[in-house]
Amino acid sequence: MKRALRFIVFYSALLGLWTLLAELKIWPPYLFPSPWGVAQALYGGFQDHTYWIAIRVSMQRVLLGYGISVLLGMALGLGVASNKFLEETMGGLLVSLQSLPSICWWPLALLWFGLNQNAILFVVIMGSLLSVTLAMEDGRKQMPKIFGQAGRNLGAKGFKLFWYVLLPASLPFIVSGLKQGWAFAWRSLITAEMLYLSLGLGQVLMMGRDLNDMSAVIAVMLLIIAIGYVVDGVVFKGMERHLQNKWGLTPAS
């Protein structure tokens, strides 16, 4: 209860300050919108379905892109972790590539795939693939060897060994990497969408800029934050809690 109270106090103070600054009219409303204006923009955006469509399109893209990079990243990470040659060669490359913001792939993606969905997808995948790969590589190494041995001993081989033993055994070690991968995927998506007319949230945000409608810009920013927060809080927190209950431990994250 105390916690909730602190929340309420903090956020009403923040809103109050915002309203005050807006009411003082130091800056014109189209540069510094009031909370009320943002709320109206949000309401209008949902009312005429713009935001619903944008959310759906963006979610579809990020889920597809993130899904692909999780699958690819796990396969890659396992490969790197279990092969000495790959580990020595590709391991370093992967780490250095991670310092590259994924939007740097945008020009290449445009040339390779044209100005379309696939280019966006490519940027999303490049954004999250490396975190997932590195997490999986690390997870495979941290995972106690005994699980693999016990699995093989009980007759699990090849894909079955991966699916029923190695993957679940490494989950507590890769869940934070998966979470990071999601965050990167989401950011890469919005960035890419801002660069190309594409129906997604990123485009709606840019539209606000083009129309000099800062209320709309802030409304979309709030949406982007909210979606990221919900996925993090619901999906990944849920996954972590689930793992904690099963394993009886606190995952390192």
Partner 1 sequence: MSTNAQVVPRRFAAAVDARIPAHGTRRGPVSIGHLEPAHLGVPKVGLSEICLSYRTQSGERLLALDHINLQVQAGEFVCIVGPSGCGKSTLLHLIAGLHSQSSGQILVDGNPVEGTGTDRIMIFQDHGLFPWLTVGENVEFGMKMKGVPKAERRDKTEYYLQLVHLAKFENSYIHQLSGGMRQRVAIARALATEPDVLLMDEPFAALDAQTRDLLHDELERIWTQTGRTIIFVTHNVREAVRLGDRVVLMTFRPGRVKNEFPIELPRPRSLEDPEVAVTARAVLDELRDETNRSLEAEYKNGMKPRISPGAAE
184 CA to centre of own chain:
5
Nearer to partner 1, 90 or 161 (CB): 161
Q: Is 249 in the site for partner 1 (CB under 8 A)?
A: yes
Using rule CB under 8 A, residue 245 touches partner 1? yes
User: Quick check: 241 binds partner 1 (CB under 8 A)?
Assistant: no
Shortest CB 144 distance to partner 1, Å: 8
Check binding of 147 to partner 1 (CB under 8 A): yes
Cα 87 to Cα 78, 79, 82, 83, 172, distances in angstroms: 10, 8, 8, 6, 22
Residue 41 to residue 207: CA distance in whole angstroms: 13
How many residues make up the chain in this entry?
Answer: 253
d(CA 126, CA 185): 8
Q: Are 139 and 252 in contact (CB under 8 A)?
A: no
Largest separation between any pair of C-alpha atoms in the chain: 73
Interface residue with partner 1, options 150, 211, 225, 226 (CB under 8 A): 150
Name the one range near partner 1 by CB under 8 A: 3-11, 36-44, 155-163, 180-188.
Answer: 155-163
Min dist. Cβ of residue 139 to partner 1 (A): 13
Does 99 engage in binding with partner 1 (CB under 8 A)?
no
Q: What is the DSSP letter of 251?
A: -
State which residue, 171 or 201, has the beta carbon closest to partner 1: 171
Kindly tell me which of 150 and 235 has the beta carbon lying closer to partner 1.
150
Q: Which stretch binds partner 1 (CB under 8 A): 71-79, 108-116, 157-165, 200-208?
A: 157-165
205 burial type by CB count under 10 A (0-12 exposed, 13-18 middle, 19+ buried): buried
Binding flag, residue 156, partner 1 (CB under 8 A):
yes
Residues 172 and 249 sit within 8 Å (Cβ to Cβ): yes
Q: Quote the least distance from Cβ 145 to partner 1, whole Å.
A: 5
N-term to C-term CA, the chain: 26
User: By CB under 8 A, which span of 11-19, 98-106, 145-153, 191-199 interacts with partner 1?
Assistant: 145-153
For residues 163-182, which are near partner 1 according to CB under 8 A?
Answer: 164-165, 168-169, 171
Strand, helix or coil at 107? helix
Residues of this chain that interact with partner 1 (CB under 8 A) are 145-147, 149-157, 160, 164-165, 168-169, 171, 243, 245-249
